[in-house]
Structure 1
């Protein structure tokens, strides 16, 4: 595995250049070192076995990766989640400034004829990773998403920026009981995130994770209109920290949740991939590349599901991942706001916490 590692206090990270995944992320908060992101147990097993056709993004499943397209790759030849999540990147340049470092990578392959560049910026004193992906040139449409994965040893609470509602796709992730289990109703939809329909007729609270033991589920949250900042905060119980994922809703108007909690019995999952929550901010249909580029359930509601590529044009997708320790005196997160030089976590009991943050990154 070829790694490219860099750091700037309080953040250090490593990129697996063979697939472009963030394989390790550490964020210092006082005397603590937080590890916000998940790494699949088989990644470090030399003898791990995989079924024929297993995509590299599954074999190297780590942290966060950029999908283009998201999910099923059925518009041009390529693996699930596209070449950015499955093939090699080159380190192009490292730019150092007074208070920040920006590291630039380029995908060795093209996506729909477009070149793809990854820029990761760290800022002194900020507990955040600022990520930017650029498509230059190309033709046609492409969906895109970040695939952030968080592991919770003993569950936790999930807070979201306001959503129009949540919906599951037509079919569950696991339909064969000999291979795995899903517990949500498919298809289903609700505006109440604390009462999503279950297959057995009950409801599930999406603000608490996990929903149950031994399940594999997937759904899409649709951003409410009129907000400049979209956010998800996963407050982990055992780890006593908060994982923060930020986006621009006009760029990435949906957040897809992948709940992987021991619901797959076949290799390499083998019932051991537990307590994992994927927070996947996207401009995409959950049904794949081709569906994202034609009229679909989301686009009929005015929600864009693909970027339009063209010669001489550059499209930029930005996202932010961060973390902080959680205090014993802090209540649940009620809101997140960007201010002049800080990100404010506002708690439901009226308290707050300020974190060093560059609001211009997502505003630009």
Structure 2
């Protein structure tokens, strides 16, 4: 913890672990927004496996996403499992930034990361650049949130939600494979439907489902309204670069160590360019996600730079606000619309997604 790089602005703080490149903490008014698995920092932490799993917490950038079957890398790639260096910080009265670069190449590409905060906003800004390289590369962000007493999810328009076979774990609620255009009625195992806009329900399942952004979208978003925490978390992405949002529903379905059935009510909101859980090799060719009209890998090149922009905004939820109906970026303001005429507003960097 003493080696974490930190920045603050207003009432917010980011703490990043350069040993893995992971955002370990995002504090808003002293309250932790991101999830940390119960074994992290204890004797129960696994000694084997990828470092990202041993230290499962916060948000990390996976490139390639998931278990790679193309390059020699641990689960979620070297971007989430190895050292980043050249840490520089800048700070003034209005904003703070951390910049750093991955020590290793990824398929010959250099990867850099910039994290930012701005005074008067509860927003974590995150930019990654992948420069050069060769081949096709998947990626995804991986912020994790825990819902102590459940809540609601709302999404920018999606063309389809789908699962691919096999399921992650024997204990699952969704059907594999399956698809629907109605996010409130995803096919469930053994019949019936599962509402993807409500989570969690009964514990004892582990599920993974991919949502494909509607055609032509520039901005994608997910709004997570948490009942016990009394907040609304809005996760925003550049949908032109990250056309899928993958939901990891980790709700007690892994009864083996170090999970021990205790990892409950956790939601991973994984925005990226990937073929869901199918793997890197599948994402480079024909696959079920690509068949829905979404790109599933980035084409690297010697003179090519890919820029991924991602933001997490946190609002206090007023009584009676209800479910999120829409999220709009209008100039220098982020607006979240609720029941009736209710609207929450926060200042937002107008240049962040405009580039």
TM interval, short-chain normalised:
over 0.9
Equivalent in the alignment of 2:345:
354
Greater CA drift, 221-230 or 75-84: 221-230
Match of 1:335 among 317, 326, 329: 326
Contact 1:122 1:130 in 2 (8 A): yes
Aligned partner of residue 271 in structure 1, secondary structure: coil
CA drift at 1:88: 1.2
CA drift at 1:184: 0.7
Contact 1:19 1:60 in 2 (8 A): no
Equivalent in the alignment of 1:85:
80
Greater CA drift, 97-106 or 74-83: 97-106
CA drift at 1:49: 4.6
Equivalent in the alignment of 1:274:
264
CA drift at 1:292: 1.3
Cα RMSD (Å) of the superposition?
Answer: 1.4
Equivalent in the alignment of 2:139:
144
Contact 1:48 1:268 in 2 (8 A): yes
Contact 1:205 1:211 in 2 (8 A): no
Could you say if the C-alpha distance between residues 160 and 209 of structure 1 is closer, same or farther in structure 2, counting changes exceeding 3 Å?
Answer: same
CA drift at 1:363: 2.0
CA drift at 1:98: 5.3
Equivalent in the alignment of 1:129:
124
Aligned partner of residue 44 in structure 1, secondary structure: coil
Write the distance in 1 (CA, Å) between the matches of 2:168 and 2:115: 32
> TM-score, normalised to structure 2's length?
0.96
CA drift at 1:150: 0.5
Q: Which runs of 5+ in 2 are unaligned?
A: none
Equivalent in the alignment of 2:284:
293
Q: Which runs of 5+ in 1 are unaligned?
A: 176-180
Equivalent in the alignment of 1:50:
46
Write the distance in 2 (CA, Å) between the matches of 1:230 and 1:167: 17
CA drift at 1:250: 0.9
Number of residues of Structure 1 aligned to a counterpart in Structure 2 = 353
Equivalent in the alignment of 1:112:
107
Write the distance in 2 (CA, Å) between the matches of 1:69 and 1:359: 30
Equivalent in the alignment of 2:162:
167
Contact 2:150 2:201 in 1 (8 A): no
Q: Deviations over 1:256-293 (max 9, x none)?
A: 00000111011111111111000000111121111111
Aligned partner of residue 33 in structure 2, secondary structure: coil
Report 1:52-71 matches (<5 A).
Answer: 52=48, 54-71=49-66
Aligned partner of residue 209 in structure 2, secondary structure: strand
CA drift at 1:34: 3.4
Contact 1:34 1:324 in 2 (8 A): no
CA drift at 1:226: 2.9
Contact 1:155 1:236 in 2 (8 A): yes
Equivalent in the alignment of 2:229:
239
Match of 1:41 among 33, 38, 42: 38
> TM-score, normalised to structure 1's length?
0.94
Contact 1:34 1:323 in 2 (8 A): no
